[in-house]
Amino acid sequence: MTKLLFCVSVYRFCQALELLGQGQRHVSLLRLARIISQCACLFATAILQLSPQQWLEHHLTHHLFYEKRKDRKNYFELFAQVNARLAGTIQLNGHFE
């Protein structure tokens, strides 16, 4: 739903810019979409009436970390397993105390 809203917004914005233009140069829909997507944080904060700091804090606390899953391990859990096995192998071979 968010992507659809984004596409419609970009299209309508492009249409408005095209009407304001002088007709010699046309608005690039893809370039406009890229510019708007780069400013997504600022648009979200304006619409939600949040400061950029509040928006960033929300996204960091809710979307930064892996979820706990029982059916599979994430990259860092697998990496820790490999490190533990390697450390055990090194200790068993007497190379490391």
Asked if 97 and 87 touch (Cβ cutoff 8 Å), the reply is no
Question: 3-class SS at 26?
Answer: coil
The confidence band for 11, taking pLDDT boundaries of 50, 70 and 90, is very high
Asked if 14 and 29 touch (Cβ cutoff 8 Å), the reply is yes
Instruction: Tell me what the mean pLDDT of segment 57-69 comes to.
Output: 83
Question: 3-class SS at 40?
Answer: helix
pLDDT digits (tens, 9 = 90+) for 82-96: 888 877 765 555 555
Q: How many CB atoms lie within 10 A of CB 50?
A: 14
The confidence band for 49, taking pLDDT boundaries of 50, 70 and 90, is very high
Q: Is the pLDDT of residue 68 over 60?
A: yes
